[in-house]
Structure 1
Amino acid sequence: MPYEWVRRPNGAPEQSGALSLEPRAELHLWPFRSLPRRGFVLFIAVTAAMLAIPLVAVLGTVVLWGLLPFMVAAVMGVWWALSRSYREGELVEILTVASDRIEIVRRAPDGAEKRWSANLYWVSVQLYPSGGRVPNYLTIKGEGREIELGAFLSEEERQTLAEELRQVLIALR
Protein backbone atom coordinates (compact mmCIF):
# COMPACT_ATOMS: atom_id res chain seq x y z
CA MET A 1 0.00 0.00 0.00
CA PRO A 2 1.27 3.47 -0.74
CA TYR A 3 1.32 4.53 2.89
CA GLU A 4 3.38 3.71 5.95
CA TRP A 5 2.84 4.12 9.70
CA VAL A 6 5.86 5.41 11.60
CA ARG A 7 5.41 5.04 15.35
CA ARG A 8 7.88 6.73 17.63
CA PRO A 9 8.24 5.74 21.28
CA ASN A 10 7.73 8.48 23.84
CA GLY A 11 10.63 9.55 26.03
CA ALA A 12 8.77 8.82 29.27
CA PRO A 13 6.09 6.25 30.03
CA GLU A 14 2.52 7.50 29.67
CA GLN A 15 1.84 6.89 33.38
CA SER A 16 4.59 9.33 34.40
CA GLY A 17 2.53 12.34 33.40
CA ALA A 18 5.45 13.84 31.47
CA LEU A 19 4.45 15.66 28.30
CA SER A 20 6.44 14.62 25.27
CA LEU A 21 6.74 16.86 22.23
CA GLU A 22 7.60 13.87 20.04
CA PRO A 23 4.82 12.62 17.78
CA ARG A 24 3.15 9.48 19.07
CA ALA A 25 2.33 8.24 15.58
CA GLU A 26 3.04 9.40 12.07
CA LEU A 27 1.53 8.34 8.77
CA HIS A 28 3.13 8.99 5.37
CA LEU A 29 0.95 8.68 2.25
CA TRP A 30 2.08 8.93 -1.37
CA PRO A 31 0.63 8.06 -4.80
CA PHE A 32 1.28 4.57 -6.11
CA ARG A 33 3.92 4.37 -8.84
CA SER A 34 3.38 1.51 -11.21
CA LEU A 35 6.72 2.13 -12.92
CA PRO A 36 9.72 2.35 -10.55
CA ARG A 37 12.80 4.40 -11.52
CA ARG A 38 14.71 1.30 -12.59
CA GLY A 39 11.79 0.29 -14.82
CA PHE A 40 11.71 3.82 -16.25
CA VAL A 41 15.37 3.57 -17.30
CA LEU A 42 14.83 0.09 -18.74
CA PHE A 43 11.72 1.22 -20.65
CA ILE A 44 13.54 4.19 -22.22
CA ALA A 45 16.51 1.97 -23.15
CA VAL A 46 14.30 -0.70 -24.74
CA THR A 47 12.26 1.96 -26.59
CA ALA A 48 15.44 3.56 -27.96
CA ALA A 49 16.81 0.15 -28.99
CA MET A 50 13.57 -0.85 -30.73
CA LEU A 51 13.46 2.45 -32.61
CA ALA A 52 17.11 2.04 -33.60
CA ILE A 53 16.59 -1.39 -35.22
CA PRO A 54 15.04 0.02 -38.43
CA LEU A 55 17.93 2.49 -38.70
CA VAL A 56 20.35 -0.39 -39.31
CA ALA A 57 18.92 -0.77 -42.82
CA VAL A 58 19.77 2.82 -43.70
CA LEU A 59 23.23 3.06 -42.10
CA GLY A 60 25.66 4.87 -44.37
CA THR A 61 22.94 6.60 -46.39
CA VAL A 62 21.50 10.09 -46.36
CA VAL A 63 18.12 8.65 -45.25
CA LEU A 64 19.61 7.94 -41.80
CA TRP A 65 20.02 11.67 -41.18
CA GLY A 66 16.42 12.27 -42.23
CA LEU A 67 15.01 9.63 -39.87
CA LEU A 68 17.34 10.14 -36.90
CA PRO A 69 15.86 13.45 -35.65
CA PHE A 70 12.37 11.93 -35.57
CA MET A 71 13.57 8.85 -33.69
CA VAL A 72 15.39 11.02 -31.14
CA ALA A 73 12.32 13.27 -30.81
CA ALA A 74 10.11 10.21 -30.16
CA VAL A 75 12.39 8.91 -27.39
CA MET A 76 12.74 12.38 -25.86
CA GLY A 77 8.95 12.83 -25.96
CA VAL A 78 8.37 9.58 -24.07
CA TRP A 79 11.12 10.51 -21.60
CA TRP A 80 9.60 13.97 -21.02
CA ALA A 81 6.07 12.60 -20.52
CA LEU A 82 7.18 9.97 -18.01
CA SER A 83 9.39 12.47 -16.17
CA ARG A 84 6.49 14.86 -15.83
CA SER A 85 4.32 12.06 -14.50
CA TYR A 86 7.00 11.29 -11.90
CA ARG A 87 7.19 14.94 -10.82
CA GLU A 88 3.42 15.11 -10.36
CA GLY A 89 3.60 11.90 -8.34
CA GLU A 90 5.92 13.47 -5.76
CA LEU A 91 2.89 14.50 -3.72
CA VAL A 92 3.06 13.41 -0.07
CA GLU A 93 0.68 13.69 2.87
CA ILE A 94 2.03 13.42 6.41
CA LEU A 95 -0.36 12.87 9.30
CA THR A 96 1.22 13.43 12.72
CA VAL A 97 -0.46 12.56 16.00
CA ALA A 98 1.05 14.27 19.05
CA SER A 99 -0.13 14.07 22.66
CA ASP A 100 -2.98 16.55 22.16
CA ARG A 101 -2.99 17.54 18.46
CA ILE A 102 -3.31 15.93 15.09
CA GLU A 103 -1.70 17.64 12.11
CA ILE A 104 -1.82 16.91 8.39
CA VAL A 105 0.73 18.41 6.01
CA ARG A 106 0.17 18.04 2.28
CA ARG A 107 3.27 18.73 0.16
CA ALA A 108 2.53 19.36 -3.50
CA PRO A 109 5.06 18.46 -6.21
CA ASP A 110 5.94 22.15 -6.59
CA GLY A 111 6.91 22.34 -2.90
CA ALA A 112 3.82 24.19 -1.69
CA GLU A 113 2.54 23.01 1.69
CA LYS A 114 -0.97 23.02 3.11
CA ARG A 115 -1.35 22.45 6.85
CA TRP A 116 -4.31 21.48 8.97
CA SER A 117 -4.37 20.71 12.67
CA ALA A 118 -7.00 20.02 15.29
CA ASN A 119 -7.44 18.87 18.86
CA LEU A 120 -6.88 15.11 18.95
CA TYR A 121 -9.89 14.46 21.18
CA TRP A 122 -12.40 16.15 18.87
CA VAL A 123 -11.22 14.65 15.59
CA SER A 124 -13.39 12.13 13.76
CA VAL A 125 -12.62 9.94 10.77
CA GLN A 126 -15.40 9.84 8.17
CA LEU A 127 -15.70 7.34 5.35
CA TYR A 128 -18.48 8.06 2.87
CA PRO A 129 -19.19 4.80 0.97
CA SER A 130 -21.18 6.79 -1.61
CA GLY A 131 -22.14 10.39 -2.18
CA GLY A 132 -18.58 11.71 -1.94
CA ARG A 133 -16.30 12.76 -4.78
CA VAL A 134 -15.22 9.12 -5.12
CA PRO A 135 -16.44 5.83 -3.61
CA ASN A 136 -15.16 5.38 -0.04
CA TYR A 137 -14.38 9.10 0.27
CA LEU A 138 -12.12 9.48 3.34
CA THR A 139 -12.11 12.67 5.38
CA ILE A 140 -10.95 13.84 8.79
CA LYS A 141 -13.14 16.33 10.60
CA GLY A 142 -12.11 18.67 13.41
CA GLU A 143 -12.25 22.29 14.52
CA GLY A 144 -14.98 23.15 12.04
CA ARG A 145 -13.21 21.80 8.96
CA GLU A 146 -13.37 18.57 7.06
CA ILE A 147 -10.43 17.67 4.84
CA GLU A 148 -9.86 14.83 2.41
CA LEU A 149 -7.10 12.35 3.14
CA GLY A 150 -5.49 10.02 0.61
CA ALA A 151 -7.33 11.22 -2.49
CA PHE A 152 -4.90 9.21 -4.62
CA LEU A 153 -5.56 5.90 -2.82
CA SER A 154 -7.80 3.17 -4.22
CA GLU A 155 -11.25 2.45 -2.75
CA GLU A 156 -10.01 -0.55 -0.77
CA GLU A 157 -6.95 1.33 0.51
CA ARG A 158 -9.11 4.23 1.74
CA GLN A 159 -11.40 1.78 3.53
CA THR A 160 -8.46 -0.01 5.19
CA LEU A 161 -6.82 3.30 6.11
CA ALA A 162 -10.03 4.62 7.68
CA GLU A 163 -10.21 1.58 9.96
CA GLU A 164 -6.51 1.85 10.87
CA LEU A 165 -6.90 5.57 11.62
CA ARG A 166 -9.87 4.92 13.89
CA GLN A 167 -7.92 2.25 15.78
CA VAL A 168 -4.86 4.51 16.19
CA LEU A 169 -6.96 7.44 17.39
CA ILE A 170 -8.79 5.24 19.90
CA ALA A 171 -5.49 3.85 21.20
CA LEU A 172 -3.83 7.27 21.51
CA ARG A 173 -6.68 9.20 23.12
Structure 2
Amino acid sequence: MPYEWMTPPPGDDAPSAELHLWPYRSLPRKGMAVFLGITLGLIAMPLLAVVGSPVLWGLLPFLAIAIFGVWWAIERSYSDGSVLEELRLWPDRVALTRHNPRSPRQDWEANPYWVDIRLHPKGGPVEEYLTLKGNGREVELGAFLVAEERKALHADLSDRLRALTSRP
Protein backbone atom coordinates (compact mmCIF):
# COMPACT_ATOMS: atom_id res chain seq x y z
CA MET A 1 0.00 0.00 0.00
CA PRO A 2 1.33 3.45 -0.76
CA TYR A 3 1.02 4.60 2.81
CA GLU A 4 2.91 3.65 5.93
CA TRP A 5 2.57 4.32 9.65
CA MET A 6 5.93 5.37 11.05
CA THR A 7 7.10 5.18 14.65
CA PRO A 8 8.67 8.56 15.34
CA PRO A 9 11.81 8.68 17.48
CA PRO A 10 11.12 9.50 21.12
CA GLY A 11 11.44 13.13 22.08
CA ASP A 12 9.79 15.96 23.94
CA ASP A 13 7.60 17.09 21.04
CA ALA A 14 7.53 13.81 19.08
CA PRO A 15 4.13 12.83 17.67
CA SER A 16 2.36 9.71 18.93
CA ALA A 17 2.07 8.43 15.36
CA GLU A 18 3.08 9.57 11.89
CA LEU A 19 1.54 8.56 8.57
CA HIS A 20 3.23 8.99 5.16
CA LEU A 21 1.14 8.71 1.97
CA TRP A 22 2.43 8.76 -1.62
CA PRO A 23 1.10 7.83 -5.09
CA TYR A 24 1.65 4.32 -6.41
CA ARG A 25 4.42 3.90 -9.01
CA SER A 26 3.59 1.34 -11.68
CA LEU A 27 6.78 1.99 -13.67
CA PRO A 28 10.05 2.09 -11.70
CA ARG A 29 13.08 3.99 -13.02
CA LYS A 30 14.72 0.79 -14.29
CA GLY A 31 11.52 -0.09 -16.14
CA MET A 32 11.49 3.38 -17.70
CA ALA A 33 15.02 2.83 -19.08
CA VAL A 34 14.01 -0.54 -20.55
CA PHE A 35 10.84 0.97 -22.05
CA LEU A 36 12.78 3.85 -23.65
CA GLY A 37 15.38 1.42 -25.02
CA ILE A 38 12.72 -0.80 -26.59
CA THR A 39 10.89 2.25 -27.97
CA LEU A 40 14.11 3.57 -29.48
CA GLY A 41 14.81 0.19 -31.08
CA LEU A 42 11.33 -0.12 -32.56
CA ILE A 43 11.29 3.44 -33.88
CA ALA A 44 14.80 3.08 -35.32
CA MET A 45 14.10 -0.24 -37.06
CA PRO A 46 12.56 1.35 -40.19
CA LEU A 47 15.67 3.55 -40.46
CA LEU A 48 17.74 0.48 -41.40
CA ALA A 49 16.29 0.75 -44.91
CA VAL A 50 17.79 4.22 -45.38
CA VAL A 51 21.21 3.72 -43.73
CA GLY A 52 23.86 5.21 -46.00
CA SER A 53 21.53 7.60 -47.80
CA PRO A 54 20.88 11.29 -47.18
CA VAL A 55 17.27 10.47 -46.23
CA LEU A 56 18.57 9.11 -42.90
CA TRP A 57 19.69 12.59 -41.87
CA GLY A 58 16.25 13.96 -42.66
CA LEU A 59 14.52 11.34 -40.50
CA LEU A 60 16.93 11.36 -37.51
CA PRO A 61 15.68 14.66 -36.04
CA PHE A 62 12.12 13.31 -35.96
CA LEU A 63 13.32 10.15 -34.23
CA ALA A 64 15.17 12.24 -31.65
CA ILE A 65 12.12 14.46 -31.07
CA ALA A 66 9.86 11.41 -30.60
CA ILE A 67 12.21 9.76 -28.08
CA PHE A 68 12.72 13.05 -26.24
CA GLY A 69 8.94 13.57 -26.10
CA VAL A 70 8.35 10.13 -24.58
CA TRP A 71 11.18 10.67 -22.06
CA TRP A 72 9.86 14.13 -21.11
CA ALA A 73 6.29 12.84 -20.64
CA ILE A 74 7.44 10.03 -18.34
CA GLU A 75 9.69 12.40 -16.36
CA ARG A 76 6.77 14.80 -15.97
CA SER A 77 4.66 11.93 -14.68
CA TYR A 78 7.37 11.08 -12.13
CA SER A 79 7.51 14.72 -11.04
CA ASP A 80 3.72 14.92 -10.66
CA GLY A 81 3.82 11.73 -8.62
CA SER A 82 6.32 13.07 -6.11
CA VAL A 83 3.49 14.22 -3.84
CA LEU A 84 3.99 13.32 -0.19
CA GLU A 85 1.39 13.73 2.53
CA GLU A 86 2.47 13.54 6.17
CA LEU A 87 -0.11 13.21 8.92
CA ARG A 88 1.18 13.55 12.49
CA LEU A 89 -0.89 12.77 15.57
CA TRP A 90 -0.21 14.30 18.99
CA PRO A 91 -2.50 14.13 22.03
CA ASP A 92 -3.24 17.86 21.63
CA ARG A 93 -3.15 18.33 17.85
CA VAL A 94 -3.30 16.70 14.42
CA ALA A 95 -1.11 18.13 11.65
CA LEU A 96 -1.29 17.38 7.93
CA THR A 97 1.46 18.54 5.57
CA ARG A 98 1.23 18.07 1.81
CA HIS A 99 4.44 18.46 -0.20
CA ASN A 100 3.47 19.33 -3.79
CA PRO A 101 5.86 18.95 -6.75
CA ARG A 102 5.43 22.41 -8.31
CA SER A 103 3.55 24.45 -5.76
CA PRO A 104 4.07 25.53 -2.17
CA ARG A 105 3.71 23.18 0.77
CA GLN A 106 0.22 23.05 2.31
CA ASP A 107 -0.30 22.74 6.08
CA TRP A 108 -3.35 22.05 8.23
CA GLU A 109 -3.69 21.64 12.00
CA ALA A 110 -6.59 20.92 14.33
CA ASN A 111 -7.39 19.65 17.79
CA PRO A 112 -7.89 15.84 17.63
CA TYR A 113 -11.05 16.05 19.75
CA TRP A 114 -12.73 18.14 17.05
CA VAL A 115 -11.37 16.37 13.96
CA ASP A 116 -14.06 14.65 11.92
CA ILE A 117 -12.89 11.94 9.50
CA ARG A 118 -15.31 11.67 6.61
CA LEU A 119 -15.52 9.10 3.85
CA HIS A 120 -17.75 10.39 1.04
CA PRO A 121 -18.94 7.39 -1.04
CA LYS A 122 -20.25 9.65 -3.81
CA GLY A 123 -20.05 13.30 -4.74
CA GLY A 124 -16.31 13.87 -4.36
CA PRO A 125 -13.69 14.15 -7.09
CA VAL A 126 -12.91 10.43 -6.57
CA GLU A 127 -14.88 7.44 -5.31
CA GLU A 128 -14.75 7.01 -1.52
CA TYR A 129 -13.34 10.53 -1.04
CA LEU A 130 -11.56 10.84 2.35
CA THR A 131 -11.48 14.18 4.16
CA LEU A 132 -10.51 15.54 7.55
CA LYS A 133 -12.58 18.38 8.96
CA GLY A 134 -11.48 20.59 11.81
CA ASN A 135 -10.40 24.10 12.71
CA GLY A 136 -12.87 25.55 10.21
CA ARG A 137 -11.46 23.71 7.17
CA GLU A 138 -12.03 20.44 5.37
CA VAL A 139 -8.96 18.94 3.69
CA GLU A 140 -8.58 15.89 1.48
CA LEU A 141 -6.36 13.00 2.43
CA GLY A 142 -4.94 10.44 0.01
CA ALA A 143 -6.92 11.42 -3.08
CA PHE A 144 -4.33 9.51 -5.16
CA LEU A 145 -5.08 6.22 -3.34
CA VAL A 146 -7.53 3.69 -4.80
CA ALA A 147 -10.98 3.39 -3.19
CA GLU A 148 -10.14 0.24 -1.19
CA GLU A 149 -7.03 1.89 0.26
CA ARG A 150 -9.02 4.97 1.27
CA LYS A 151 -11.58 2.74 3.02
CA ALA A 152 -8.82 0.89 4.91
CA LEU A 153 -7.11 4.17 5.79
CA HIS A 154 -10.41 5.61 7.05
CA ALA A 155 -10.91 2.65 9.41
CA ASP A 156 -7.29 2.68 10.58
CA LEU A 157 -7.17 6.44 11.11
CA SER A 158 -10.52 6.44 12.91
CA ASP A 159 -9.23 3.79 15.33
CA ARG A 160 -5.99 5.65 15.97
CA LEU A 161 -7.74 8.98 16.50
CA ARG A 162 -10.29 7.37 18.82
CA ALA A 163 -7.47 5.80 20.86
CA LEU A 164 -5.61 9.11 20.94
CA THR A 165 -8.58 11.11 22.21
CA SER A 166 -9.66 8.50 24.78
CA ARG A 167 -6.39 8.73 26.72
CA PRO A 168 -6.76 10.04 30.29
Q: Same fold (TM over 0.5)?
A: yes
Deviation at 1:99, TM superposition (A): 2.9
Aligned residues: 165
Query: Which residue does 2:6 correspond to in 1?
Result: 6
Task: Determine if the alignment matches structure 1 residue 167 to structure 2 residue 159.
Answer: yes
The code of the aligned residue for 2:21 comes to L
- Distance across 2 between alignment mates of 1:67 and 1:49: 15
Gaps of 5+ in 2: none
Deviations 1:55-82 (A, max 9, x none): 2222111111111111111101111111
Task: Determine if the alignment matches structure 1 residue 114 to structure 2 residue 96.
Answer: no
- Distance across 2 between alignment mates of 1:111 and 1:92: 12
The code of the aligned residue for 2:116 comes to S
Query: Normalising by structure 1, what TM-score?
Result: 0.89
Deviation at 1:10, TM superposition (A): 4.0
- Structure 2 matches for 1:1-173, cutoff 5 A? 1-8=1-8, 10=10, 20-110=12-102, 112-173=104-165
- Distance across 1 between alignment mates of 2:160 and 2:128: 19
Deviation at 1:168, TM superposition (A): 1.2
- Distance across 2 between alignment mates of 1:30 and 1:93: 7
Deviations 1:6-48 (A, max 9, x none): 123645xxxxxxxx31111111111112111111111111111
Conservation of the 8 A alpha-carbon contact between 1:9 and 1:24: no
- Distance across 1 between alignment mates of 2:10 and 2:164: 12
Question: What percentage of residue pairs aligned between the two structures are identical?
Answer: 52
- Distance across 2 between alignment mates of 1:52 and 1:44: 12
SS at match of 1:33: coil
- Distance across 2 between alignment mates of 1:158 and 1:122: 21
Gaps of 5+ in 1: 12-19
